[in-house]
Amino acid sequence: MTKIFVLLFPLLLCSGVTFSQTPDCSKFREGKFRIADTRAGAVIIADRNSMYQTETSEALKAVVRFKISWQDNCSYTLKLDKVIRNENKINFPSNLEIKVKIIQTSDNGYTQETTSSLSNGTYNVVVTKL
């Protein structure tokens, strides 16, 4: 019995390390993304580079640009930089801030936990890399 434990213990230890690792979010730092925002009732296309994320929503008839600041590998903050188009005259506060934490990744996207200066609480959004 002791021999079985000695043989299995390293395997159990390694499997625990594998499951507790944080996701690799580096491949999502730049690119084009589809954000299915059920709270806003809109699909948003986001173009992200190292400095900015520009979000376009045809349903909301708006295009806004955010300054992006990465806190760590999977967390970043978006601060409103510029309203480019706003046909529906949506009130975008100048101090609008969105905090994002990527909580799960897949080959072509991720799930993010989102908080905003506009509302209390958090909600999850599915993002697909285009």
Distances in Å between the alpha carbon of 35 and those of 3, 79, 88, 115?
Answer: 51, 17, 20, 15
First to last CA, the chain: 52
Token digits of residue 82: 């510029």
Domain 30-129 adopts which CATH fold?
Answer: Lipocalin (2.40.128)
Question: How far is residue 112's CA from residue 118's CA, in Å, rounded to a whole number?
Answer: 17
pLDDT value, residue 22: 67
Give kind and range of the element (H or E) at residue 90: none
What residue segments make up the domains of the chain, in order of their start? Answer: 30-129
Ranges of residues in the chain with a pLDDT under 70 are 1-22
pLDDT value, residue 3: 44
Residue whose structure tokens are 């021999």: 3
